[in-house]
Amino acid sequence: MHQTKVKVAEDALDANTTIATANRADFDRAEVAVVNLMSAPGAGKTMLLERALAERGDLRVGVLEGDVQGSIDADRLSALHVPVVQINTDSGFGGECHLDANMVRSALAELRLGELDLLVVENVGNLVCPAEFRIGEDAKAMICSVTEGEDKPLKYPLMFRSCELVVVNKTDLLPHLDFDLEALVANIDRVNPEATVMQLSARTGEGVERFREWLFGVADRAPAGG
Amino acid sequence: MHELSVSSAIVETVIRHADGRRVSTVHLQVGALRQVVPESLDFYFAVASRDTLCEGAELDVELVDALMRCRQCACEWDPAPEPLHSGDPAAALPRFRCPACEAAGAEVLAGNDLLIDSIDVETQPAVAGNGSSNGRDPRDLLRGR
């Protein structure tokens, strides 16, 4: 059997990037900015969003909620009277562990983008795969809680490197833990020295205001109305 | 599991370029910044390629070292940690801050790729018809279907 070499020269994630670019164009047309919020399971994404979105003034915020199964988080956020669309990834991949551009795209039809200033995508809890797949977002942020260990940036550098903001959550628990906050911050600096690091407690609300300012500030990155 | 997502993306891209021909080798360049474990990639590639034109194909992985360039002083360096047994504990940690001027901003010159460079295909069409796959999602195998 003869062999022929075929030049491909294509990144394996190009197909995803193409769809992410199409999402981006839709977001721009609708003048909506998009934040991709990621973390390990249980780091506090939903509670932090509950806290932050409770006081949103006139800002029109929507949430795209990614989970393998169920709508527990979406139900919690719906209580704040923000439009929430649930994506369950179990139909895609035997329990897909992340949202990719195509999954987000398929959910866009259910969202009235034109009625939003800011869309927050709460990704599936996972520190690995979500870092690989762009969805067309303006900003990527992650939450790392103090119950997870200060070595996490060294173990999941791709995730920490992909985010412009690292939120350190559950600081109210620090008195009960042998957690070295300085070591965590130093490790974040080793893998992503450009990241903004914010310490807060979604539970007590301490420090949440700063996160809220950052989150709502992303809305200004959407193209201005014409 | 990350390698499964990546493998599926590789198989889909390769099939698009195979044009109905059976694939014998996929030449892939994997950047050090992608956190891909070659052995794990081999395993999941075999799973993701089952019942496709890539089934049985060899994955030829070339690892590409990372290279950063400082936006302040243009210093270039490899941010990867050295093995623990190298002797210097500080060197066993990654360093994405410029080692020369300590600036934070740097661009990635190399190490971010998951590049399918080329594929070796058999010149006789593998099957009649479009041959792109048998219509099954290879990932169904993982669900035991």
What is the reported pLDDT for A132?
87
Q: What is the mean pLDDT of chain A?
A: 93
Chain A nearest CA to B26, separation (Å) = 10
The share of chain B scoring above pLDDT 70, in percent, equals 82
What is the reported pLDDT for B126?
56
Nearest Cβ partner of A194 from B105, B115, B122?
Answer: B105
Model confidence at B65: pLDDT above 50:
yes
| Residues of A (15-34) whose Cβ lies below 8 Å from B | 15-16
The pLDDT tens digits for A3-54 are 999 999 999 999 899 999 999 999 999 999 999 999 999 999 999 999 999 9
Say how far apart CA A26 and CA B144 lie, in whole Å.
37
Q: Which of B64, B63, B46 is nearest to B55 (CA)?
A: B46
Say how far apart CA B101 and CA B85 lie, in whole Å.
27
The pLDDT tens digits for B74-83 are 999 999 987 7
CATH architecture of A14-221: 3-Layer(aba) Sandwich (3.40)
Chain B nearest CA to A76, separation (Å) = 29
Say how far apart CA A49 and CA A185 lie, in whole Å.
23
More confident residue, B85 or B122: B122
Based on the domain organization, do B106 and B120 belong to the same domain?
no
Q: What is the mean pLDDT of chain B?
A: 85
Based on the domain organization, do B56 and B85 belong to the same domain?
no
Task: Decide if B6 is inside a domain.
Answer: yes
Based on the domain organization, do B106 and B82 belong to the same domain?
yes
Based on the domain organization, do B49 and B73 belong to the same domain?
no
Based on the domain organization, do B95 and B126 belong to the same domain?
no
Based on the domain organization, do B59 and B2 belong to the same domain?
yes
Q: Token digits for A26?
A: 């839709």
The mean pLDDT of B42-48, rounded to a whole number, is 93
Model confidence at A105: pLDDT above 90:
yes
What is the reported pLDDT for B129?
45
Residue contact A2–B122, C-beta within 8 A: yes
Residue contact A3–B24, C-beta within 8 A: yes
What residues does B115 pair with on adjacent strands? A11, B29
The mean pLDDT of A85-110, rounded to a whole number, is 82
Task: Decide if B144 is inside a domain.
Answer: no
Residue contact A11–B5, C-beta within 8 A: no
Say how far apart CA B116 and CA A7 lie, in whole Å.
9
Residue contact A129–B5, C-beta within 8 A: yes
Chain A nearest CA to B140, separation (Å) = 7
Strands A3-11 and B114-125: antiparallel
Residue contact A157–B35, C-beta within 8 A: yes
> What are the b/e assignments for A158-174, b being 16+ CB within 10 Å?
bbbbbbebbbbbbbbee
Say how far apart CA A68 and CA A178 lie, in whole Å.
32
Q: Indicate the pLDDT class of residue B142, thresholds 50, 70 and 90.
A: low
Find the domain containing B97 and state its range: 66-110
Chain A nearest CA to B39, separation (Å) = 17
Say how far apart CA B134 and CA B129 lie, in whole Å.
10
Nearest Cβ partner of B116 from A10, A189, A191?
Answer: A10
Scanning every residue of chain A, which has its alpha carbon at the shortest distance from the alpha carbon of B105? A194
The tokens 């956020």 sit on which residue? Answer: A77
Using the Cβ of A59 and the Cβ atoms of chain B, whether some distance falls under 8 Å is answered with no
- Indicate the DSSP class of residue B53: T
Say how far apart CA A82 and CA A4 lie, in whole Å.
55
Domains held by chain B: number: 2
Domain ranges of chain A: 14-221
Task: Decide if B84 is inside a domain.
Answer: yes
Strands A33-39 and A118-122: parallel
The ipTM is 0.84
Based on the domain organization, do B21 and B45 belong to the same domain?
yes
The pLDDT tens digits for A162-216 are 999 999 999 999 999 999 999 999 999 999 999 999 999 999 999 999 999 999 9
Residue A126 dihedral angles phi and psi, to the nearest 5°: 180, 135
Helix (H), strand (E) at residue A128: none
Count Cβ atoms below 10 Å from residue A151 Cβ, excluding itself.
12
